[in-house]
Chains A and B, each alone.
Chain A
Amino acid sequence: MSKLQPVIFDIGWNACINCGACVAICPQEAGFISPFDTIAVDRPCDIACLLCENICPTGTISHRPVAEGDPPRPPERGSWLAPQHPNGTSEERMPPKH
């Protein structure tokens, strides 16, 4: 299998020590992370360099090629997120002081 095919990762959480090494080595854009300080597992990675798997001290990351029916890539994060009201509408922002 070509490494450049998009992949989805599976993390064996039982062996994961939340060390963050996979995130540290990952060349993805900002925000390709899971709530447990690991690389994201809920969306495909199109870079597929597999450095995260190689660095993992407990070897608990594995991958499979993206298949039909897998979740699509969500919109990019990291640049800007407007504060939202709980109902999801964008909040009116105060004009800057000065």
Chain B
Amino acid sequence: MKGKNCTWMNNYDCDILIVGSGPAGATLARYAAAAGLSVLLVDKRQELGAPIQCSGAVSRHALEEVGIPLDEEFILEAIYGFAIYDQSGSATRIDYRQLKGDEYGEGEGKKPLGYVVDRRRFDRYLMTLAERSGAETWLKTEGLGYRTLPDGRCEVSLRNFNRLLSVRCKVLVGADGLQSQVGKWAGLQTHIKITELAGCLQFIVDQVETDGLLEIITGHEWAPGGYAWVFPKGHGYAEIGLGVISTMTDHNAQWHLDKFIQQSFFKDRFRNCRILEIQGGGVPLAAPLRTQYADNLILVGDAARHVNPITGGGIHTALSGAKVAADFLVSHLAGGQQQDFSAAQLKGYQDAWLAAIGNKMWELYHQKTKVFHQEDIPTRDAYLYRTMSDYFDPNSPYKKV
């Protein structure tokens, strides 16, 4: 491969090599490259975001906070609030069009609370922003391993279209999502408990009406250990999904989703639903990693388990955590004098992250743990319903997580 636009090459040198171009990796790449660092962003996929393992709900604030234009290219539908259901179908509606009607709504001068984005287009868009800021981006490039070098840098082996390549960098960033291998390369404790990873399945469907709200359905009957959801998906489509904790049920997510569609209080609403796409994934309802750094290496996004333990949402935390990481790396590498990329130095990233976001996530984790420590199912269901309703309340202290 030759030519300026296909510069996959062996023995490449850069300041920062980022493995994984999801929301976290691409955002870190954009900020670091814009500040003048040489950045290589690699992803093993051929089409970012595909196959989709995400529902794509994200607040407007989360996008604006990290300078992402609200572009039609990736937005599927605007969101104006939430509806939280208990097991029997009674709901708490938190519709900002009613609560703060002068600010939120469809009309001129009003704005949405958030969006449902198409992760295929969103991730591609974020990579494009990184590239336009000066980052080098390589698709079909899988990170395989790394080793530290005597000069204080590290060397990373990559596979690109079946060729093994070696790249040297000062700091390797693991932004490789929940299936993260980069943390394992460094021997970090990345294991998730089976009681804290929800197995999720979701159908994109036609013939189910929605109303600009993210609907969340709690209750052991429908989604043991997790919750079910109905999200607007644009073009008149909807998404019906749920996540379950496998130790709390003898069945898999697919069985529960079928049951939810056929037997729940929404069965009439879902009667004519037609499945257009099938997606899924694992959602950690877990704490952040205790150690998110090693020699020449930091982790961001899902790889560091920067995921909201109550909602399972991880786009906002991936974006804002990536900005914290970029700010840290830019100042740490400033001037090119700094040659110490040891774990002791990179711990500064985690400290900055805890102060900005992490400590709040730990609080949420403790709240979530209290819910699931309730052994009695009706008590737990009531507690989860209340926790979810409080979480999405306009006066909740956690709006920003």
Interface residues of A (CB under 8 A from B): 17-21, 23-25, 27, 29-31, 33, 37, 51, 54-59, 77-84, 91, 93-94, 96-98
Known: A57-B280, A58-B201, A78-B185. A19 touches B53 (CB 8 A): yes
With contacts A31-B181, A33-B179 known, is A83 near B149, CB below 8 A? no
| A91 neighbours in B (Cβ, 8 Å) | 10
- Given A19-B279, A54-B194: A83 in contact with B151 (beta carbons within 8 A): no
The 10 A-B residue pairs with the shortest CB-CB distance in the complex, in nearest-first order: A21-B282, A57-B253, A30-B184, A19-B280, A59-B252, A23-B179, A54-B246, A24-B282, A57-B201, A83-B164
A79 partner, pick from B147, B192, B199, B200, beta carbons under 8 A: B147
Alpha-carbon separation in the docked complex, A57 to B247 (Å): 13
Residues of chain A within 8 A (CB-CB) of B144 are: 31, 77-78, 81
For residue B168, CB closer than 8 A to chain A, the reply is yes
Given contacts A80-B146, A96-B153, 11 further A-B contacts (CB under 8 A): A21-B199, A23-B179, A24-B192, A24-B197, A25-B194, A54-B246, A57-B200, A57-B201, A57-B280, A83-B163, A96-B168
Chain B 142-183: CB-based contact to A (< 8 A → 1; otherwise 0): 001111011101000100000111101000000001110100
- Find chain A residues with CB under 8 A from B150 CB: 96
A19-B164 in contact (CB<8A): no
Interface centre among B147, B179, B181, B280 (most CB of A within 10 A): B179
- The main secondary structure of chain A at its interface with chain B is loop
B11 close to chain A: CB less than 8 A: yes
Across the interface, which residues of B come within 8 angstroms of A23, CB to CB? 179
Does A25 contact B51, Cβ atoms closer than 8 Å? no
Which residues does chain A contribute within 8 Å of B168, judged by CB atoms? 96
Q: How far is the CA of A77 from the CA of B13 in the complex (A)?
A: 23
Please count the residue pairs between chain A and chain B whose beta carbons lie under 8 angstroms apart in the complex.
Answer: 113
Would you call B254 an interface residue if the criterion is a C-beta within 8 Å of the partner chain's C-beta atoms?
Answer: yes
A97 to B155 alpha-carbon distance, docked (Å)? 12
Residues of B within 8 A of A33 (CB): 179, 181
Cα A24 to Cα B253 with chains together (Å): 16
Provided the pairs A58-B201, A83-B164, A96-B168 are in contact, do residues A17 and B51 lie with their beta carbons within 8 angstroms? yes
A83 and B246 form a contact (CB under 8 A)? no
Chain A residue with the shortest CB-CB distance to B149:
A96
A79/B145 contact (C-beta < 8 A), A21-B197, A30-B185, A56-B199 known: yes
A79 touches B166 (CB 8 A): no
Which residues of the partner chain B approach A81 to less than 8 Å between Cβ atoms? 144-145, 157, 164
Give the distance to chain B from A96, nearest Cβ to Cβ, in Å.
Answer: 5
**Contact of B312 with A by CB under 8 A:** no
Verify if B278 is at the interface (C-beta below 8 Å from A). yes
State whether the Cβ of B281 lies closer than 8 Å to any Cβ in chain A.
yes
Chain A positions within 8 Å of B4 at CB level: none
Q: Is B373 close to A, CB under 8 A?
A: no
CA distance A25 to B279 in the complex (A): 18
- Asked if residues B151 and A30 are in contact (CB atoms below 8 Å), the reply is no
Contact B194–A51 (Cβ < 8 Å): yes
Is B235 located at the chain interface by the 8 A CB criterion? no
Distance of A25 Cα from B103 Cα, bound (Å):
42
A77 to B145, CA, bound (A): 8
